[in-house]
Each structure stands twice: as structure tokens, then as C-alpha cells.
């Protein structure tokens, strides 16, 4: 049997009209005689009654609940949306089986809140498919081998979808969301962002790691291991969206020649910490951060200066730790990291000049910058983020 996995994100299942649009995709796949596995996220976004963030906000302080119990609560949003969507499909005469992550055979480690999938036993799904049922799997969740419910962390439903796709040997994993596909920048920030027809796993991974949250990088990495094609598509359209596959096919299909910059990504809400002066001990600084679970980014170490970023939510803690160690950091809160991402930027002359020039024209100061063979990052003031992303998008002609 040819199998397709369809993942519907939170906004895609948020209203009856949208669920009708989702159902049209299920029906279209059934018409093409696919075995259909549906993965759903919790309904809506923060503030909506059954969204995961809303469920968490019903709890008191983080330390008043065990991580194990918290995961039980966090997994409820997907349980609700699966049953709601399942009953809607049934009302259309489609045979449906709703399965929890555990019932779907998703076994994880016991790192509650951020569990990793260890193995998948897809027999139950397979049996249901063989009976002609559409199988709806609650996204974002699994269970330990002891049977404790776990959740998979941010982007968890994307991970459920591609992991099931691999386990079932699916032909495609379709990620349905509220944008037309993978765009050259977040369309909420850049109004003339353009959809990419095709993109490599590597390119989308790089964009996703730099903040393009349209698909979670972990989900892409899972798909990449088996060359499982992903399509990122708009729920309310029959358009095929963006195809994510291997290198080698990209240029011909998109018609974009010499595409060396794929897109511009951004991450907001970070703070820059700078230590100046006589040789701060880098080992002690980063050791302290690691000890307290503060993840650091954008590290720049020079003989007389150390600079790095942390998430705004970690800033107070980080500053306290540094002060305890007798250091006196300069702190720039509410910065944003904007990134020019492209597999082809390595060694292309003049890229940095173009970036600096585009930002200077808008009077945007670069607080720090760094580069790798696929990405150039600039740290800017948070209230200049949108302007910076737009300026870079324009400077590299991405709207054309
Ligand atoms: P879902 O609930 O469907 O998982 P997400 O909010 O996780 O949806 O992801 C979709 C969002 O990703 C879009 O609404 C868009 O604002 C954002 N986004 C960020 N960067 C990009 C990009 N390069 N291309 C497309 N969407 C992007
Ligand atoms: Mg998402």
C-alpha cells in the first residue's frame, strides 16, 4: 500500500471551516488510493482554549508540578484535536481510527518535555490502514517503554509526522500550515517574500535552525536520513507547496539560477552579554552557563573581550552567575539575530559587504556578526529586526 502522512498544524485545525479544508486533503489522498495517516497538533495558538500554551498556563509555578505530570497535561491538546477531527471525518462517512502516540507505537526516552523518539512499532497503524481506516495520530507525544506519556518539545508534531513517515515507508509527508510553503523570509515580516518551489533538506534545516519555524529542523533531519520527501503546503489550497528533497534537483525546478542565498531568517528576544577587560576566563564563563543549563549562542572570544548571546528569558540568571564570578557584563537586552542563509554563500566574494551596506543604509547597527559556510548572522537591536530582515531580503533580490 502507498502511504502518505498528512500533518495539520495548530492553526489548520482551529475552526470548523479549516477542518473542512483539512478533510478535503484527506479525501484527495483517499481518492488517489493512498493509505492515509493524519498527524494533528493541538487546536489554535496561545490564548485559544485548547492550545498547548493555554493548557500549560493553567498550572502554577513550574516547580510545583512534576515534569511527568506536566507532560500528561501537555499531551491533552492533541488528544482533543484528534478526536474532534476524527469525528468530523466520520461524519463525512470516512472510517477513522484515532491513536495516541503510545498506541501508534512511538517509544521515547524519559526526558519529559523534550523526549527523543527511540523506536517506532508501526504494526497497529499498519493494521488499521489495512482495514481501510484513516489513522489519526496525536502529534507531539509518545510514551516511555514503561508507558509514561512524554512530549517531544517544540515542533513535536512535525517530528511525529516525519518519524512515522520513515517508519511506514511513506511516499510523502505533507506538512499543512497557514502559509503557501517555505518562503524566502517569514511572510509576517516581509510582505513580498516569495515561495520556494523546491528546497534541499540542508537548506531548510539551516533556515529552521536560524528561526524559520515553518518546520522543525529535527523533523527535517529525520526525513533526510531516508530521503523521505516532505511537502510544506497551505491547508486552504490544493497547491503542492514547497517540495523538500535532496540536492541536485533544486535549480532546474525553481527556475532560479545560481541561487546562493535561500532566504533570510530571524530569531527575536535574545540578549547580548559582553565581558571586556583583562582576559576574562572563557572556560569559567561558559562552564557556568552550561552548569545552569543556559544555552549560549553567537560566541565570540578575543584576548580582551568575550561576547555571546542568551535568550532574554535567561538573561537575569546569566548576569547573576557572571556577577557571582566577579565579572561585570555589559548587557544588551531585546536583540535579534538576523541570518542570511544559503548553501552557496561559501567563498562568494562581496556578500558581507552587501549585508553591511544594506543594513547601514537603514541605519541599523551590527552589534556582532559571524559566519559559517552556509550562514551569515548579524545581531541587531530588536526594534530594528523587521527592517533588517526586509533590507537583506531586498539586497539579495529574493522577491524577484
Ligand atoms: P503550525 O501551527 O502549522 O505548525 P507554525 O506557526 O509552527 O505553524 O509555522 C508556520 C509559520 O511559520 C508561518 O505562519 C510563518 O509566519 C512562519 N515562518 C517563519 N519563517 C518562514 C519561512 N521562511 N517560510 C514560511 N513560513 C515561515
Ligand atoms: Mg509548527
Quick: pLDDT tens for 57-108. 888 777 788 999 999 999 999 999 999 999 999 999 999 999 999 999 999 9
Distance CA 288, CA 293 (A): 9
Any ligand 1 atom below 6 A from CB of 341: no
Any ligand 1 atom below 6 A from CB of 23: no
pLDDT at 251: 44
* Contact indicator for 339, 265 with CB cutoff of 8 Å: yes
Query: What are the C-alpha distances in Å from 80 to residues 105, 143, 294?
Result: 19, 18, 33
State the cell numbers at 130: 489495512
- The stretch 255-266 carries a mean pLDDT of 75
pLDDT at 248: 55
- What's the angle, vertex CA 1, arms to CA 170 and CA 143, rounded to 5? 50
Whether residue 129 is predicted with pLDDT greater than 70 in this model: the reply is: yes
pLDDT at 257: 43
Q: Identify the band that residue 265 occupies on the pLDDT scale cut at 50, 70 and 90.
A: very high
pLDDT at 255: 40
Among candidate residues 191, 199, 189, the one with its CA nearest the CA of residue 344 = 199
By three-state DSSP, how is residue 95 classified?
coil
Any ligand 1 atom below 6 A from CB of 185: yes
Burial class (CB in 10 A: 0-12, 13-18, 19+), 27: middle
Report the first-to-last Cα separation within the chain, whole angstroms. Answer: 41
Please indicate if the annotation marks 9 as binding a ligand. Answer: yes
By three-state DSSP, how is residue 201 classified?
helix
- pTM score: 0.92
Say if 3-245 and 263-396 have the same CATH topology. Answer: no
CA 177 to ligand 1: nearest atom: 3
Which CATH code for domain 263-396?
3.30.2130.10
pLDDT at 303: 86
| Residue 106 CA, ligand 1 centroid: distance in Å | 25
Please indicate if the annotation marks 213 as binding a ligand. Answer: yes
Please indicate if the annotation marks 78 as binding a ligand. Answer: yes
Q: 60-69, 86-95, 187-196, 382-391: which has the minimum mean pLDDT?
A: 60-69
Residue nearest to atom 17 of ligand 1 (CA): 214
Please indicate if the annotation marks 8 as binding a ligand. Answer: yes
Quick: pLDDT tens for 205-219. 999 999 999 999 999
Strand 330-341 relative to strand 263-276, pairing: antiparallel
Domain coordinates in residue numbering, the chain: 3-245, 263-396
Q: Which fold has domain 3-245?
A: Carbamate kinase (3.40.1160)
What mean pLDDT is reported for the chain? 93
Any ligand 1 atom below 6 A from CB of 183: yes
Any ligand 1 atom below 6 A from CB of 188: yes
* Contact indicator for 288, 321 with CB cutoff of 8 Å: yes
State the cell numbers at 250: 533544486
| Residue 108 CA, ligand 1 centroid: distance in Å | 26
Any ligand 1 atom below 6 A from CB of 186: yes
Any ligand 1 atom below 6 A from CB of 309: no
Amino acid at each position: 500500500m502507498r502511504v502518505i502522512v498528512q500533518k495539520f498544524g495548530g492553526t489548520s485545525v482551529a475552526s470548523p471551516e479549516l477542518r473542512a479544508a483539512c478533510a478535503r486533503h484527506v479525501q484527495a489522498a483517499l481518492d488517489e488510493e493512498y493509505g492515509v495517516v493524519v498527524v494533528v497538533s493541538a487546536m489554535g495558538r496561545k490564548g485559544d482554549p485548547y492550545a498547548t500554551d493555554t493548557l500549560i498556563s493553567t498550572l502554577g509555578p513550574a516547580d510545583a508540578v512534576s515534569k511527568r505530570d506536566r507532560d500528561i497535561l501537555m499531551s491533552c491538546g492533541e488528544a482533543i484535536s484528534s478526536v474532534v477531527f476524527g469525528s468530523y471525518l466520520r461524519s463525512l462517512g470516512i472510517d477513522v481510527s484515532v491513536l495516541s502516540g503510545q498506541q501508534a507505537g512511538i517509544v521515547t526516552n524519559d526526558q519529559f518535555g523534550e523526549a527523543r523518539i527511540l523506536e517506532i512499532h508501526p504494526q497497529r497503524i499498519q493494521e488499521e490502514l489495512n482495514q481501510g481506516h484513516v489513522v489519526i495520530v496525536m502529534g507531539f507525544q509518545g510514551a516511555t517503554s514503561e508507558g509514561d506519556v512524554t512530549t517531544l518539545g517544540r515542533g513535536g508534531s512535525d517530528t511525529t509526522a516525519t518519524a512515522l513517515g520513515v517508519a511506514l515507508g511513506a511516499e510523502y509527508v505533507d506538512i499543512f500550515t497557514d502559509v503557501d510553503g517555505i518562503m524566502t523570509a517569514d511572510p509576517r515580516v516581509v510582505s513580498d517574500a516569495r515561495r520556494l518551489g523546491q528546497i534541499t533538506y540542508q537548506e531548510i534545516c539551516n533556515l529552521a535552525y536560524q528561526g524559520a519555524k515553518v518546520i522543525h529542523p529535527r523533523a527535517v533531519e529525520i526525513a533526510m536520513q531516508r530521503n523521505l520527501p516532505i511537502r510544506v503546503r497551505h491547508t486552504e489550497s490544493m497547491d503542492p507547496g514547497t517540495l523538500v528533497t535532496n540536492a541536485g534537483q533544486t535549480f532546474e525546478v525553481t527556475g532560479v539560477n545560481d541561487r546562493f542565498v535561500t532566504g533570510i531568517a530571524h530569531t527575536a528576544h535574545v540578549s547580548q552579554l559582553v565581558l571586556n577587560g583583562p582576559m576574562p576566563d572563557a572556560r569559567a564563563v561558559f562552564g557556568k552557563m552550561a552548569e545552569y543549563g543556559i544555552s549560549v549562542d553567537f560566541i565570540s572570544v578575543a584576548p580582551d573581550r568575550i561576547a555571546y548571546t542568551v535568550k532574554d528569558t535567561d538573561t537575569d540568571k546569566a548576569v547573576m552567575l557572571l556577577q557571582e564570578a566577579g565579572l561585570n557584563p555589559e548587557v544588551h537586552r531585546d536583540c535579534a539575530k538576523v541570518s542570511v542563509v544559503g548553501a552557496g554563500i561559501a567563498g562568494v566574494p562581496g556578500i558581507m559587504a552587501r549585508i553591511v551596506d544594506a543594513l547601514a543604509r537603514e541605519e541599523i547597527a551590527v552589534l556582532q556578526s559571524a559566519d559559517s559556510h552556509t550562514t551569515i548572522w548579524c545581531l541587531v537591536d530588536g526594534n530594528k529586526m523587521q527592517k533588517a530582515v526586509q533590507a537583506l531580503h531586498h539586497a539579495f533580490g529574493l522577491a524577484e
